[in-house]
Structure 1
């Protein structure tokens, strides 16, 4: 299926800015001087390291003789059709484009009011995010306390000569199905009573049956952290904002369960590690 090529909003702003500067015959040095900022700031915009903030965009438009919509509209490279395996969400919604048009048509007072409302909402969201982080921190403190108490209790019930092997355990499951949203990178340390496979970096649970019978739904797997694996090996991958456990193929991720199709790899794919095997109950003193 052919659809317009999609790029990130930051890349879109970068391409539109460069195009507008070329059309206006304005260099990075000249733009920096007219805006009263450093050349390094403009260079960072042009390289896509960051984007101009909302207050700076109208000033840029005035210097280059363009509208705010020209900065945020799809760049010319997005108008070329390319073959993609799945339809993705657009980087900017029609509603956002309409808001940009409305903002561009406002007078100075109207823009100032919009800016004030936006700042107030951003402040509210930042405060709510800070409160959520505080609650999360308290929850992690409680979990650490409970883990310590559990270890003390287990240590009192077991012989002193039992050797333990601490390994990080990620609560975020790796999907053996249609993708597990990668929402949490938090790991807790668990103690094994049997030495894990050589090179083990961490343990993750498996959610779904697409890798059965090799890796059943609900099992835990040992993973060695590495950014590349060989074709035919099973690894943990981050792709499309989700975390997967799949066999690496030629340009695709392969399920062992024939009921699931292969999944074409996208540009954002990142290998997080090589799967070394299943961590079964024999590695734990008690069921975990």
Structure 2
């Protein structure tokens, strides 16, 4: 895993929002966001400060591995703790499943000789706000992005960036969402919505758009609002 993904995982695991972590290290939220997107990297002093705040070591954060030690992710460390707590029968059961899945995955890797096929999709780099709203105008700049030809990706019609953290921990700032074009979604589904020219990624409620981050209020469109749905979120681009 890269520094960008390791930093994001450690921050979320520790319970920090991007702006909270940024404040603790004396940086702006955009700086942390750029790190987690892989656009930039922290300097050495800041890296060690991040390690102290997030309770991880530099090897893990940087994704380094050596012949003597393998850098484990936080989730991998938790799996090991749970395994050690099992009795002999529990460990035997887990190891049996692990051996079966390891052989299956290695076999699939060996026979996967055909090159990956990719499909084109429209990509909006400035798109749905997961904050207080971002203007979305007709004819906004779009480019093309290539996705692996998978069943989920084939269901998508376009890819759009998340701007903000109101949908954390479900979606984070900078995530690229796979969206299926539709003019309506069911209650409880997450969609892309336009309200008076501003775009949002939110969960659709009975009478409101719901933020998953409790520090952001839900949005209740008025009867006079120009409100419409422009897509259903079906996943995050990997």
TM-score normalised to structure 2 length: 0.48
